[in-house]
């Protein structure tokens, strides 16, 4: 727990060298609401951290700040040792594209593209050739046991298959970390388990840090560590 108004410099440095994503002393206001209150959090390579807390406690805000989507009012965010919170919007989104992967509750795949094309997107956007990107995407879909539906569009597959494709898209470019916001929240328990297992195995096996926002204690039980937010403060 932070007791001083600024984060301890020594522990911040240590965490920066170990963590793939390190947030230190993060504070964020929306008007008079203090959504984050000096939160320090670090995710190591291959580590799965569950982020829990009641509705409105600041989970999404923390995820957005760590991912460089919104800048904090105070504090810093390092990804693979590089500070991203003070970058220009353009450099931040480029860092986000290369270094981070995202899985949301409702897949958020591009509806006009096939699953394979969706998975290839992060590679195409960072300069891979179409041929190389599609080959890598197809290989990953096979690993996640959905090669048979690779050429279908998201609306033509089951929710579980679409969510596995979203997992593949989040990790195809070997990011430093994946942020998953209720990734199994819209699935039944059988499909939820399949998607969760795929996500955890991929993160641990590839040394990708995983920050998993969830309300579900059974999901959080699979994490290496649980962090609990209450009123914008980290409680555990």
Ligand X SMILES: Nc1ncnc2c1ncn2[C@@H]1O[C@H](COP(=O)(O)OP(=O)(O)OP(=O)(O)O)[C@@H](O)[C@H]1O
**172 vs 26: CA distance, rounded Å:** 29
**208/178 Cα distance (integer angstroms):** 7
Q: Is 211 in the site for ligand X (CB under 6 A)?
A: no
Of positions 12, 40, 42, 57, contacts ligand X by CB under 6 A? 57
Q: Tell me the closest approach of the beta carbon of residue 138 to ligand X, in angstroms.
A: 35
Q: In which region does residue 216 sit, left (phi positive, over 0), alpha (psi from -120 to 50) or beta (all else)?
A: beta
Minimum Å gap between C-beta 192 and ligand X is 18
Question: Taking CB under 6 A as the rule, does residue 106 contact ligand X?
Answer: no
The C-alpha atoms of residue 22 and residue 7 are separated, in whole angstroms, by 12
Per-position b or e across 30-43, b if 16+ CB within 10 A of its CB = eeeebbbbbbbbbb
Which of 56, 111, 205, 207 binds ligand X (CB under 6 A)? It is 56
Residue 140 C-beta: closest distance to ligand X, Å: 29
* Window 24-43: residues binding ligand X (CB under 6 A): 30, 33, 35
Which helix (H) or strand (E) element contains residue 76? Answer: strand 74-79
Q: Does 12 bind ligand X (CB under 6 A)?
A: no
The minimum distance between CB 39 and ligand X, in angstroms, equals 11
- CB of residue 55 to ligand X, shortest distance in Å: 3
As a whole number of angstroms, the distance between CA 174 and CA 50 comes to: 20
In this structure, are residues 23 and 41 in contact, taking their beta carbons and an 8 Å threshold?
yes
Q: Which two tokens stand for residue 74?
A: 């105070």
Shortest reach from residue 27's CB to ligand X, in Å: 12
Which of 59/173 has CB closer to ligand X? Answer: 59
- Return the ∠ at Cα 174 (arms to 97 and 131), rounded to 5°: 85
Question: Which of 30/106 has CB closer to ligand X?
Answer: 30
Q: Is 53 in the site for ligand X (CB under 6 A)?
A: yes
Q: Does 234 bind ligand X (CB under 6 A)?
A: no
Q: Under rule CB under 6 A, which residues in 59-98 are in contact with ligand X?
A: 59-61
Task: Using CB under 6 A, list all residues that contact ligand X.
Answer: 30, 33, 35, 53, 55-61
């Amino acid at each position: 727990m932070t007791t001083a108004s600024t984060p301890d410099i020594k522990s911040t440095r240590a965490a920066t060298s170990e963590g793939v994503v390190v947030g230190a002393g993060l504070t964020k206001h929306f008007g008079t609401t203090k959504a984050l209150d000096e939160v320090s959090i670090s995710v190591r390579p291959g580590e799965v951290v569950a982020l829990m807390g009641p509705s409105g406690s600041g989970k999404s805000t923390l995820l957005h700040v760590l991912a460089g989507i919104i800048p904090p009012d105070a504090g810093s965010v390092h990804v693979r040792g590089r500070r991203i919170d003070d970058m220009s919007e353009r450099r931040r989104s480029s860092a986000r594209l290369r270094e981070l992967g995202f899985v949301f509750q409702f897949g958020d795949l591009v509806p006009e593209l096939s699953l394979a094309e969706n998975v290839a997107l992060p590679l195409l956007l960072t300069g891979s050739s179409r041929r190389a990107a599609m080959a890598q995407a197809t290989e990953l879909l096979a690993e996640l046991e959905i090669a048979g539906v690779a050429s279908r569009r998201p609306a033509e597959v089951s929710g579980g298959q679409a969510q596995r494709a979203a997992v593949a898209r989040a990790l195809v470019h070997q990011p430093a970390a994946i942020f998953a916001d209720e990734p199994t929240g819209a699935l039944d328990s059988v499909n939820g388990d399949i998607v969760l297992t795929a996500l955890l195995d991929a993160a641990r096996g590839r040394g990708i840090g995983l920050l998993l926002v969830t309300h579900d204690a059974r999901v959080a039980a699979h994490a290496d560590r649980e962090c609990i937010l209450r009123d914008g403060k980290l409680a555990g």
